[in-house]
């Protein structure tokens, strides 16, 4: 994927005309809101039409911008929404390093909820495991749990729709479908990673699969360096917003392409056979493409796990993540006095957004509902009434480093 000015200038496969067009678009995308005279005529048109007609880009570069950089689900996304997603990528350079993408180790997006639970525990939260909410009375603030115990709620009750009490009447309708396929393979897949990295994103654009997919299939690849899988293995998290049998066909087709690709790229091909006739070191794409088509793998991918499932959500498959999509789940009503979930605030099940924008927006909306504002959402400030027992962050780091203590033993027993 060509995504920086240096990549564009040094790329030998791009013509001078294409390079100029890409540079012109990148300059525009960084400040596109200030130039409505350029994009407003395409406000209700697809980003593909805009890039093709105004910037004269070719399909290859258009698809890279839409699917690889914008991470859009299809090429019909309207121009303003796609420009927001593309700009998000471009302005992220040099924020936390020289690449605009970050991932959390030891569990992916689950680390966000894990981090919250640990921080909440430091602030005094108590966890009651293997227990569900049966009913809640918002007037008395009494919640009844599945083990027949009752607790008094000081603030609010927030639960997932998957944990809604029997007979719930205010649970948000889960009307949007996401199909997912998770595979654990016995292969490192280092051919897909940059030097020193352990993760990658693979995208199959619209119409790129034998299943004639109408929506992109997105795959997050996590190697053993991420801390979520054993050494010598790799996890492929695949998803699509396609529904029904077609969604599963798209996932299976993408899985087969990924399997073929990693077997080809990890095989011992003699690159001397594919050098361009100019002997500049560039690969002859015709010869290489023919080799890939004729390639017969000498091995098979060993799957340690292959898990397919359909997940429902109340969050629409929008081009841009906006808080209003999540606030629907934070509105509760109290007219039905017999409803067991009267006065309950529901969180959102995961959306189709593979970036952290979705889960962070959902958390901010819940925070806003409880606190009244999300202005200090990213602040961490746990006050200790006993000043003499407080420890500065620097001293705490030193204490941890010097103690030689192992991990907390009860951590693995926590149920989130």
CATH number at residue 82: 1.10.405.10
Q: What is the pTM of this model?
A: 0.78
pLDDT score for 385 = 47
Q: Per the domain annotation, does 298 fall within a domain?
A: yes
Who has greater pLDDT, 157 or 14?
A: 157
Do 85 and 57 lie in one domain? The reply is yes
Do 85 and 13 lie in one domain? The reply is yes
Q: Per the domain annotation, does 366 fall within a domain?
A: yes
Alpha-carbon span 359 to 329, nearest angstrom: 13
pLDDT score for 380 = 62
User: Residue 233 is part of a domain; what is its CATH number?
Assistant: 3.30.519.10
pLDDT score for 304 = 97
Do 19 and 74 lie in one domain? The reply is yes
pLDDT score for 321 = 75
pLDDT score for 79 = 96
Do 234 and 295 lie in one domain? The reply is yes
pLDDT score for 405 = 35
Do 226 and 325 lie in one domain? The reply is no
The parent domain of residue 71 ranges over 5-92
What is the pairing mode between strands 133-137 and 199-204?
unpaired
Do 88 and 132 lie in one domain? The reply is no
User: Residue 350 is part of a domain; what is its CATH number?
Assistant: 3.50.50.60
Q: Per the domain annotation, does 414 fall within a domain?
A: no
Alpha-carbon span 171 to 342, nearest angstrom: 10
Average pLDDT over residues 243-248: 97
Do 182 and 234 lie in one domain? The reply is yes
Please report which confidence band the pLDDT of residue 260 belongs to, taking 50, 70 and 90 as the band edges. Answer: very high
Do 11 and 43 lie in one domain? The reply is yes
Residues in the chain: 416
Evaluate if residue 305 carries a pLDDT over 90: yes
pLDDT score for 404 = 38
Distances (CA, A) of 214 to 34, 48, 250, 265: 33, 14, 9, 27
What value, to the nearest 5°, has the Cα angle with vertex 392 and ends 387 and 398?
A: 135
Do 127 and 163 lie in one domain? The reply is yes
Do 218 and 146 lie in one domain? The reply is no
When divided into structural domains, the chain yields a total of: 3
Q: Per the domain annotation, does 241 fall within a domain?
A: yes
What is the overall mean pLDDT for the chain?
81
Half-sphere CA count of 243, side-chain side, radius 13 A: 6
Do 297 and 328 lie in one domain? The reply is no
Do 242 and 353 lie in one domain? The reply is no
Q: Per the domain annotation, does 156 fall within a domain?
A: yes
Average pLDDT over residues 241-260: 96
Q: Per the domain annotation, does 275 fall within a domain?
A: no
> Lowest-confidence range among 17-26, 230-239, 400-409?
400-409
**Residues 92-146 pLDDT 10s:** 888 887 778 888 777 666 777 788 888 889 988 888 888 999 999 888 999 999 9
DSSP readout, 93-141? TTTSSSSS----TTTTTHHHHHHHHHHHHHTT-----S--EEEEETTTT
């Amino acid at each position: 994927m060509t995504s920086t000015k240096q990549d564009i200038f040094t790329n030998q496969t791009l013509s001078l005309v294409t390079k100029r067009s890409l540079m012109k678009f990148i300059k525009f995308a960084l400040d596109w809101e200030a130039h409505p005279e350029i994009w407003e005529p395409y406000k209700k048109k697809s980003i593909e039409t805009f890039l093709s007609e105004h910037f004269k880009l070719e399909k290859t570069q258009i698809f890279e911008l839409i699917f690889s950089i914008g991470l859009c689900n299809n090429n019909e996304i309207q121009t303003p929404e796609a420009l927001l997603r593309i700009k998000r990528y471009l302005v992220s350079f040099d924020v936390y390093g020289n690449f605009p993408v970050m991932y959390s180790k030891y569990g992916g997006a689950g680390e966000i909820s894990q981090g919250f639970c640990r921080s909440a525990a430091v602030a005094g939260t108590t966890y009651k495991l293997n227990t569900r909410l049966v009913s809640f009375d918002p007037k008395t603030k009494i919640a009844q749990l599945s083990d027949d115990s009752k607790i008094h709620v000081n603030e609010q009750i927030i639960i997932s729709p998957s944990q809604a009490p029997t007979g719930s009447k205010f649970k948000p309708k889960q009307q949007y479908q996401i199909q997912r396929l998770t595979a654990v393979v016995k292969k490192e897949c280092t051919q897909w990673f940059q030097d020193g990295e352990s993760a990658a994103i693979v995208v199959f654009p619209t119409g790129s699969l034998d299943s004639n997919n109408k929506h992109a299939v997105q795959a997050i690849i996590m190697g053993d360096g991420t801390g979520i899988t054993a050494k010598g293995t790799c996890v492929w998290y695949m998803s699509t917003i396609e529904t029904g049998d077609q969604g599963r066909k798209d996932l299976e087709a993408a899985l087969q392409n990924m399997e073929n690709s990693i077997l080809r790229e990890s095989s011992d091909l003699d690159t001397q056979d594919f050098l361009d006739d100019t002997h500049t070191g560039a690969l002859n794409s015709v010869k290489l493409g023919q080799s890939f088509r004729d390639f017969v793998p000498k091995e098979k991918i060993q799957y340690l796990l292959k898990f397919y499932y359909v997940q429902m959500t109340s969050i629409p498959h929008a081009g841009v993540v906006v808080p209003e999509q999540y606030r629907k789940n934070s509105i509760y009503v109290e007219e039905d006095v017999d409803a067991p979930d009267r006065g309950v605030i529901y969180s959102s099940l995961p959306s189709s957004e593979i970036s952290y924008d979705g889960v962070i927006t959902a958390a901010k909306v819940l925070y806003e509902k409880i606190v009244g504002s999300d202005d200090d959402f990213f602040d961490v400030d746990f006050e200790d009434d006993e000043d003499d027992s407080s420890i500065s962050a620097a001293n705490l780091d030193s204490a941890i480093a010097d103690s030689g203590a192992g991990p907390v033993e009860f951590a693995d027993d926590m149920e989130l």
